[in-house]
Chains A and B, each alone.
Chain A
Amino acid sequence: MASYIGSATSRVDGRAKVTGEAKYAGEFNVSGLVHGYVVDSPIPKGRIVRIDTSGALGVAGVIDVLTHSNRPTMADKDDAYKDEVAPEKGSPYRPLYDDRIQFTGQPVALVLAEDWETARVAASLVKIEYQKEPHVTDLQAERARAYAIDVPEKPRGDAEKAFASAAISHAAEYSIPTEHHNPMELFASTAIWENGQLTVYDKTQGVQNVQQYLCKVFKLQPNAVRVMSPYMGGGFGAGLRPQYQVVLAVLGANALKRPVRVVLTRAQMYALGYRPASIERLALGASSDGLLESMQHEAIAVTSQFEEFARNDTGWGNLLYKSPNAKFGHKLVKLDLPTSSDMRAPGAATGVYALECAMDELAIALKTDPVQLRLQCYSDRHQGEDLPYTSKQLRECYRQGAEAFGWDKRNAEPRSMRDGSELVGWGMASGVWEALQVPATVRIVLTANGHAEVATAASDIGTGTYTIMAQVAADMLGLPIDNISVKLGDSTLPQCPVEGGSWIASSVCNAIANTARAVRGDLLELAKATKDSPLAGAGVDDVALIDGKIVSKQDAGRAVPIASAMQSGKAERITREEINQPSEDKSHARNVHSAIFAEVKVDEEIGIIRVMRVVKAVAAGRILNPKTAHSQVMGGVVWGIGMALHEETLYDHRFGRVMNANIAEYHVPVNADIHDIKVIFVDEPDEMVNPLGIKGLGEIGIVGVAAAIANAVYHATGKRVRDLPITLDKVIEFV
């Protein structure tokens, strides 16, 4: 039997998704369901003075209107609202808790009605009077108030002095606007009380995170609450923390003792988390022969007034380039907005964008090919920690990516390449992310009929977790993949953290390996108990499960069918549950790398930018499923194109409001924007990063893409745009 691991397997949940059978959080139509509609604050800061719900309550079909003054009880301590991934510092937002308004779009009332449309009608009749207070929402205007926070990277040498004395230097500021995740599925929760048990269907990337949060917020016993998320219509980080609609759904269910569903509108989703706007200052100094002497990177990013969210924007250069002198800094500005949040490759999407644009500018100053500069500065060690990598095939990414792209045909001179009325630009960049692992537990139930159920409380947010788990389990148990069923998205399943940081594949698959080994041990014991067992004397690691048999690794002729072993031992099922703990070994750095090459065409007069080709070469350890892996990286590239050219949350700071809080004017790429995307997986065996050699792919797809495109736009036009998105009016001077 060929290995499933490494084979291009179609999604095991594909049929459910193409037939519409897959149910998402807002699609459980239980009987007696009550529909909630959220009324949200039009002002960014102040107090609620008065709420008049009489008009709404007068509408036939309206059951109740919950506000901070009549809601059921909730916890009154910050700790209760701190979820698994909440920022360490600050007081988490408490939905419908009191009269304080902390950001525009904050929920202030929940209308509960017999149907959704009645709730929506009634919501427009809730009258609320506010006492406004002065607000601030503009990062640029408030940057003088930025305060420094600690960064993990220690300074090396004297970066300022080295910069000042460098033969060639480049310093510039790059900026990235606020971006919103905009998963296709609206945030939704359905809360159902039944026989003293609360079941919640929630759009979340972490069912156990939400379950523990709800237990604390509503003072419920852990065994009384079950959170389910069998399918999730896109997360990208938006569903890492419990979102407010789940609190409102439970509040409604508690108040009415009936099942309640709350679905947010697209506009309301702009009051959830977001990628914080950031200003990134890079200063690079090099010797005349193109070796980095100094690297400085400082970021200023947005957080809320009430929590301190920050991710590492600035340390990525330490992973990529040698520089004897380096300095990093991170500052935050508190604004009257919701707390910023993780969004695909948090810190890296922004920080590496700035770093890789700066490297391009330095290459130009040095009159060096940008790939060549990166190879000259290439670091085989993590510069900050002075550690070797478990593996780093980035050189191979540059080589294979450049070859596939045809980089050697590039004329380095800006504006030198064209296609009729269009200027052609070729740009490149590097990408880097962490190969993370978290503790995760997997349960396997093997039944005598040769089927196995593999379960953990992870979520498949579209990444392909169902599929890779089935592949790994099938290989480890020696069963056909059709005999494996995977259970996810249920808080009662074995422990698993939120699906984020690209850590689920490695954490869960290694846990499958551990559990499968335990199952194998049980099977071996059963097999050895049979009379004249051909496996007598074998240890658990002397045998493998192959083609439904327990087989000696030394002699494939010595084998016992799994079914007969279980039958003779009268075992109807074997149930095992094992945890996978991340390695404690701190002797190596664990990272995933990539090289991106992009071709843009820019109309010389009009400025329309078209991304014609992107090649992304990725070194990410073992690729479990080339098909789903390709999709994940390709999707990341599409995100990078959106980040480079389209995405920007537009605030009117006078009102403290998002003015494009929809998916028509918040532009994400559409089909017509996307052309040829080639994904290359560079071979990177790595038995040190974890036993299965898995590094994760969720984030690396986007990292560096915006820089490659920005660099290509420069190469095409000679115009350096340092504030994203690169719109046509920034590229062309329209006099």
Chain B
Amino acid sequence: MTHSGTTKPKGPIAAAPEKIPITLIVNGAEAKLSVAPWTTLLDALRDYLDLTGTKKGCDHGQCGACTVLVDGRRINSCLTLAVMKEGAEVTTVEGLARNGELHPLQQAFIDHDAFQCGYCTSGQICSAAGLIAEGKAKTADEIRELMSGNICRCGAYPNIVAAIQQAMGRS
């Protein structure tokens, strides 16, 4: 008995389409790049713009490590095609500090030890920035629920909630 292993595309493979030039405003600066249709915003940031602060933890919208702010809203950059965000304003973890001074959330994450390995941290912080901007979370329960799209395998959740509460108090 034999078994044909890999997935079979339904038709012939098209020649790789031309790369598409796009412009993004990344952390306040204009970034011009050429991407394939299937290049995700995450891969564009990490591989094309060398902004590796945004992390790839699953590439399927299951972990939240890739969270960035697009036009002020938190999204999963792994499930976003770069080409679809032409002209958009993207804020990554690298864009939060101002003139060397940490964003209140960044400082709060350090103060409350809201991370261990650090790999989910960029996504947590960007997600928290989005959460504060949304203004929907007031109680600890609400923060927990609205931060549940960011998995922390090290288990820093209570400290993450405390850090967000500290930053909320300041903003």
Interface residues of A (CB under 8 A from B): 10-11, 13-24, 26-27, 29, 39, 41-43, 46, 49, 55, 58-61, 108, 115-118, 121, 123-132, 182-186, 231-236, 263, 265-266, 461-464, 627-628, 630-632, 634-639, 662-664, 668-672, 674, 676-677
Contacts and interface: CB of A to CB of B under 8 A. Distances in A.
Interface in B59-88: 59-60, 62-63, 65
A20 B57 contact: no
Given A20-B92, A125-B9, A184 B153 contact: yes
Contacts of A266: 57-60, 62
Contact of A116 (B43, B50, B149): B43
Contacts of A49: 2
B62 to A, nearest CB: 4
Interface in B89-107: 92-94, 96-97, 102, 106-107
Contacts, number: 220
Contact of A662 (B2, B62, B120, B121): B62
A631 B116 contact: yes
A124 B9 contact: yes
B160 to A, nearest CB: 7
Interface residues of B, number: 70
B6 A184 contact: no
21 contacts: A15-B102, A15-B106, A16-B118, A17-B121, A19-B96, A26-B56, A29-B50, A29-B52, A42-B6, A49-B2, A60-B16, A127-B4, A129-B4, A185-B119, A234-B116, A236-B153, A266-B57, A628-B116, A635-B156, A671-B143, A674-B144
A46 B1 CA distance: 10
A433 B154 CA distance: 19
Nearest to B108: A18
A671 B43 contact: no
A49 to B, nearest CB: 6
Closest 3 CB pairs of A and B: A20-B53, A638-B155, A233-B119
Nearest to A185: B119
B54 A20 contact: yes
A184 B120 contact: yes
Most buried by A among B63, B111, B143: B63
Contact of A19 (B63, B102, B153): B102
Given A11-B110, A127-B6, A130-B5, A670 B118 contact: no
Interface in B119-142: 119-122, 125
Contacts of B151: 184, 663, 668, 670
Contacts of A128: 4-6
B30 interface: no
A632 B154 CA distance: 8
B120 to A, nearest CB: 5
A233 B118 contact: yes
B20 to A, nearest CB: 13
Interface in B1-35: 1-7, 9, 13, 15-16
Most buried by A among B16, B109, B149: B16
Given A628-B113, A631-B159, A672-B144, 17 more contacts: A11-B110, A29-B52, A132-B3, A184-B152, A185-B57, A233-B57, A233-B120, A234-B154, A236-B153, A263-B56, A461-B117, A462-B118, A635-B155, A663-B62, A663-B151, A669-B157, A674-B144
Contacts of A29: 47, 50, 52
Contacts of A16: 118
Contacts of B150: 671
